[in-house]
Amino acid sequence: MTSGLTLIGTMTAAAILAASAHAGTFIFAGSSFGDDVIMHQNGYDPFDPPGGTLTITVAAKAGDFDALGLQAIQNVIDTINGQGVTTANLVDGSTVGMPFTFYDFESVMLHEMGHALGLAHPNLGAIMGLTQPERDYANARQGGNASWDLATGGDGVRGTSDDARGDDINLNWRNLSDNPFTKPATADVTTYFRPNTFTNIGSQEVAASSGSYPNDTEAVMVQGTFNNEVQRTLAADDVAMLEITQAGFDGIASTSDDYTLELVWMGEMAADYDTETVDIWVQFRDSATNFAVTSTSAIFYTFATREAIGEGTYECGRGVVREVMYASAGRGAPGPTHGVITDADIFFESSIDWHFGEEVDPMCPGDATGDGMVDFDDLNEVLGNWGTSGPAGDVDESGTVDFDDLNEVLANWGAMCS
């Protein structure tokens, strides 16, 4: 987050960076389903884990987004599938040609996709009507006094490990590393745990206050977005929390119930809601949000017996909005509670000044990637999207990636454009 700019809307956030460890948390943590919650994506079966690739389909409501908006969604899918750890991932909007007062759609989409996959805020955010600066404290639930205990410690910075949090209960997982901008080779329950003490969160302000970390690095899942801010790649904690979900029900990497998460783009679809075909829907719906929001439903199971104990719905910024505990629920069972997402919807507000991406120079035919030259990258872009409706690879904008696009690349091979 960049100080001095305008914060808008109700957002979501999830990934903790710490001076002595880094951490993150999952949606539904702190609810009736428990504090130690690990989420899994739609289609994960705790009784018959996939042990391979778990495919999650993503679609946009037909007519809601132009070609640049659809490409931004596909870019997010590629980023999640790559699960690459980056630093210096928070940059000025001018680097992508975004007007100062605009908000970067791809950055917000990446954050919301994290929620759709089960990640939550590392900071309190807008939950229960909190406003700045209280939102900047680490995510937690209220303790026995039924109120928030929010005060800084000796460093005077919110969201650090010395905050005076009273009897608030920490919800963040952390690892044993002393470098919050890297992650261990394996991220699972053997390298991460949820301590009772609070840790530093991965906000830009906390990084800057440390004097040790680059202040242009921030976990994508940190709550809040500003105009003129771009954040299109994942940080260490974002990736670590995704890896923990993929460690399966036993939480241990390299066992038979592990899976590899793969998001698949379904393109535009006319149906407004079809959970049989689409796992994550993306659309404009002004009645749902004044900026961006993700609504996620899930079923929950005990770790010990894999007994279904309930179901619920979570909305970023509001927390759990529906909880149903089954009569047979095995409360108090040892081990973390595992949630399996059943559907997720990402909503955007249409009147926001969204920056959807950069226009490809129309005077550069064959340049499928928009990098100003026609080369193997463009050929791979066309072949990698062969037979789809684009927009990726559809250099002639015909609505189909086919031989016409391939011929346009080959006919302009080696061209350089200004």
The predicted pLDDT at position 314 comes to: 94
Residue 211 tokens, joined: 């004097």
**371 has pLDDT over 60:** yes
Q: How many CB atoms lie within 10 A of CB 122?
A: 33
The model carries a pTM of: 0.80
The torsion defined by the Cα of 390, 395, 401 and 402, in degrees rounded to 10, comes to 180
Smallest CA-to-CA distance from 342 within 303, 301, 296 is with: 296
Gyration radius from the chain CA atoms: 21
- The set of long-range contacts for 245-249, using a CB threshold of 8 Å and a minimum separation of 24, is 245/26, 245/38, 245/39, 245/40, 245/41, 245/117, 245/118, 246/54, 247/187, 247/188, 247/189, 248/40, 248/49, 249/40, 249/46, 249/49, 249/301, 249/303, 249/306, 249/338
Find where tokens 């009147």 sit.
Answer: 351
Q: By the 8 A CB rule, do 401 and 414 touch? A: no
In what helix (H) or strand (E) does residue 174 lie, and over which residues does it extend? strand 173-175
The predicted pLDDT at position 180 comes to: 60
241-284 pLDDT, tens digit per residue, is 999 999 999 999 999 999 999 999 999 998 665 667 899 999 99
Q: How far is the C-alpha of 89 from the C-alpha of 111, rounded, in Å?
A: 13
Q: Kindly state the percentage of the chain with pLDDT values over 70.
A: 88
298-344 pLDDT, tens digit per residue, is 999 988 778 889 999 999 878 888 999 886 665 556 678 999 999 99
Q: By the 8 A CB rule, do 122 and 12 touch? A: no
User: Measured between alpha carbons, how far apart are the two ends of the chain, in Å?
Assistant: 33
When the pLDDT of each residue in the chain is averaged and rounded to a whole number, the result is 85
**6 has pLDDT over 50:** no
**Domains in the chain: ranges and CATH:** 23-355 (no CATH), 362-418 (1.10.1330.10)
Helices (H), 323-367: none
Q: By the 8 A CB rule, do 238 and 220 touch? A: yes
Q: How far is the C-alpha of 97 from the C-alpha of 110, rounded, in Å?
A: 19
